């Protein structure tokens, strides 16, 4: 299949729509300043073939896409033990919702809603070096140095009232072992990591390779652990739009409010799309259309 041709076609078809739908995330000031008139797409096959189009080399804030990689570290370290504090069910609620935590005794529904990702960050804080460990993982996976955007991290912390509420609430239930401020600091910084579509498509490569490193590196996680992360991405990776994503796209996906979405075609390739304007569920408005087009053009889907 000529993937470069497919991505060029998607870029040509969708670029005219830039500026006609969706809204850039406004609740974090540093994200509100990003121009919505950008669209990038990149993929990397299991065999290492790459293709890219549009603004695929422009760094953006990976936001909640970081939750896939922090979960990877936590699963690698704790395996089954991780699930005593974090559920595996879709929430059907917005990513920053507090409501389920009260009736479910401080156990977040899944590792991809904010509460779940904060609980994962707590597990990483209990080991040494949570943030450097995450940056090392990402840099190794894409073969280039990956950094935190300090301005976004500050902005995230300055406006993170709901995340602070979630963390304190979980601390009250004993879901977090560590100091709330320390855990939130890791969470805010992981959300503020900046990467390009090309870097993310490469970094996520182990998810289409049964946990094998996309470049020449050690095994990232086992094939079973990889399947589980893909299952969670399919069922919970796009929040209360997960059903719609499965229906229309049918691929494990993880989105972030920076406008990125990473998608996995198991045993074939990983794909990253980015366009900053979001739909009402917090997923990239054009990115979602790009994934739909990709599946329609290639027939690649898990279903
Ligand atoms: O927790 C927050 O508010 C953000 N920094 C991350 C949220 C996010 O990307 C949710 N995703 N769609």
pLDDT tens per residue across all 303 residues of the chain: 999 999 999 999 999 999 999 999 988 898 999 999 999 999 999 999 999 999 999 999 999 999 999 999 999 999 999 999 999 999 888 888 888 998 999 999 999 999 999 999 999 999 989 999 999 999 999 999 999 999 999 999 999 999 999 999 999 999 999 999 999 999 999 999 999 999 999 999 999 999 999 999 999 999 999 999 999 999 999 988 999 999 999 999 999 999 999 999 999 999 999 999 999 999 999 999 999 999 999 999 999
Number of domains in the chain: 1
How much is the pLDDT for 225? Answer: 98
Q: How far apart are CA 141 and CA 296, in angstroms?
A: 29
User: Is this model's pTM higher than 0.80 or not?
Assistant: yes
Please state, in angstroms and rounded to a whole number, the distance separating the CA atoms of residues 209 and 227: 10
Is residue 136 in a domain? Answer: yes
120 assigned binding-site residue = no
What is the distance between the alpha carbons of residues 69 and 23, in angstroms, rounded to a whole number? 26
**Residue 171 forms part of a structural domain:** yes
* pLDDT score recorded for residue 95: 82
Tell whether 49 is in a known binding site: no
How remote is the CA of residue 81 from the centroid of ligand 1, in Å?
A: 25
Rounded-to-5 percentages of helix, strand, coil across the chain: 50, 15, 35
- Point out the residues that are catalytic: 64, 67, 187, 239, 257
CA of 45 relative to ligand 1 center, distance in Å:
28
Distance of CA 212 to the CA centre of its chain: 19
Question: Ligand 1 pocket: which of 63, 91, 167 to mutate (most atoms <8 Å of CB)?
Answer: 63
Which candidate, 37, 117, 125, places its Cα nearest to that of 85? 117
β-pairing verdict for 260-265 and 269-274:
antiparallel
ipTM of this model?
0.94
How far apart are the C-alpha atoms of 149 and 181, rounded to whole Å? 19
Q: Give domain status of residue 303, yes or no.
A: no
CA angle 21, 27, 28 (to 5 degrees): 110
Asked if residue 236 belongs to a domain, the reply is yes
Pairwise CA distance, residues 281 & 290, whole Å: 17
* 298 φψ region: left (φ > 0), alpha (ψ -120 to 50), beta (else): alpha
Helix (H) or strand (E) holding 286: helix 285-298
Residue 302 lies in a domain: no
114 has binding-site annotation: yes
* The Cα angle at residue 232 between residues 226 and 235, in degrees rounded to 5: 145
Four-CA torsion 105, 108, 109, 115, nearest 10 degrees: 140
Predicted pLDDT of residue 192: 98
Strand-by-strand arrangement of the 147-148 sheet: 60-61, 193-195, 147-148
pLDDT at 239: 85
CATH label of the domain that carries residue 221: 3.40.710.10
3-state secondary structure of 269: strand
Q: Which residue has the tokens 């979001």?
A: 278
**And the tokens for 251?**
């691929």
Q: What is the pLDDT of residue 27?
A: 87
Find all residues with CB under 8 Å of 113, minimum gap 6, and list them: 91, 93, 95, 96, 97, 236, 239
Q: Which domain holds residue 170?
A: 3-297
Phi, psi of 277 (to 5 degrees): -75, 130
């Amino acid at each position: 299949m000529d993937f470069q041709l497919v991505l060029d076609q998607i870029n040509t078809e969708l670029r005219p729509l830039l500026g006609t739908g969706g809204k850039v995330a406004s609740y974090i000031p540093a994200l509100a300043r990003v121009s919505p008139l950008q669209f990038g797409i990149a993929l990397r096959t299991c065999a290492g073939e790459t293709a890219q189009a549009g603004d695929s080399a422009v760094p953006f804030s990976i936001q909640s896409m970081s939750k896939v990689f922090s979960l990877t570290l936590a699963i690698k370290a704790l395996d089954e033990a991780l699930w005593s504090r974090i559920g595996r069910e879709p929430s059907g609620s917005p990513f920053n919702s507090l409501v389920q935590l009260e009736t479910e005794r401080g156990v977040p529904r899944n590792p991809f809603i904010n509460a779940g990702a904060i609980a994962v960050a707590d597990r990483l804080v209990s080991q040494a070096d949570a943030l450097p460990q995450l940056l090392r993982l990402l840099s190794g996976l894409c073969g280039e140095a990956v950094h935190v955007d300090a301005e976004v991290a500050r902005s995230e912390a300055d406006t993170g009232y709901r995340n602070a509420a979630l963390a304190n609430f979980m601390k009250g239930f004993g879901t977090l072992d560590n100091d709330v401020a320390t855990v939130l600091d890791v969470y805010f910084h992981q959300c503020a990591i900046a990467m390009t579509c090309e870097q993310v498509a490469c970094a996520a490569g182990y998810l289409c390779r049964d946990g094998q490193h996309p470049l020449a590196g050690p095994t990232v996680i086992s094939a079973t652990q990889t399947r589980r992360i893909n299952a969670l991405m399919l069922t919970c990776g796009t929040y209360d739009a997960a059903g719609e994503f499965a229906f229309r796209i049918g691929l494990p996906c993880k989105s972030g409010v920076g406008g990125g979405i990473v998608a996995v075609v198991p045993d074939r390739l990983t794909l990253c799309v980015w366009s900053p304007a979001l739909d009402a569920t917090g997923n990239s408005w054009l990115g979602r259309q790009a994934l739909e087009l990709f599946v329609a053009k290639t027939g690649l889907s898990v279903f």
